[in-house]
Amino acid sequence: MIVCVCHRISHREIERHALACDNFDELQLNTGVATGCGRCGDCARSVFDEVRQISVCPGAARGAGLQHAVALA
């Protein structure tokens, strides 16, 4: 699913970059997400935060049924 229409950044791309970036600002620098019209900002940040939370605490993915857990498998 495309999250950022302005830069054609998908949900999967955000997940992949979230694992390599230290913070959301770095994700924006690397992908351009939420730097155009800004409408994708909340969704992009949500995906980023969810992936970062799972990567810090992998067990959280099992109990919460988080859809982004697949990206970390």
Question: Can you give the binding site for ligand FES, defined by CB under 6 A?
Answer: 4-7, 33-40
Task: Give least dist CB 14 to ligand FES, A.
Answer: 11
Q: Which is nearer to ligand FES, 10 or 55 (CB)?
A: 10
Q: Which is nearer to ligand FES, 6 or 60 (CB)?
A: 6
Q: Which is nearer to ligand FES, 41 or 60 (CB)?
A: 41
Residues 1, 20, 7: CA angle, nearest 5 degrees? 40
Distance between terminal CA atoms of the chain? 19
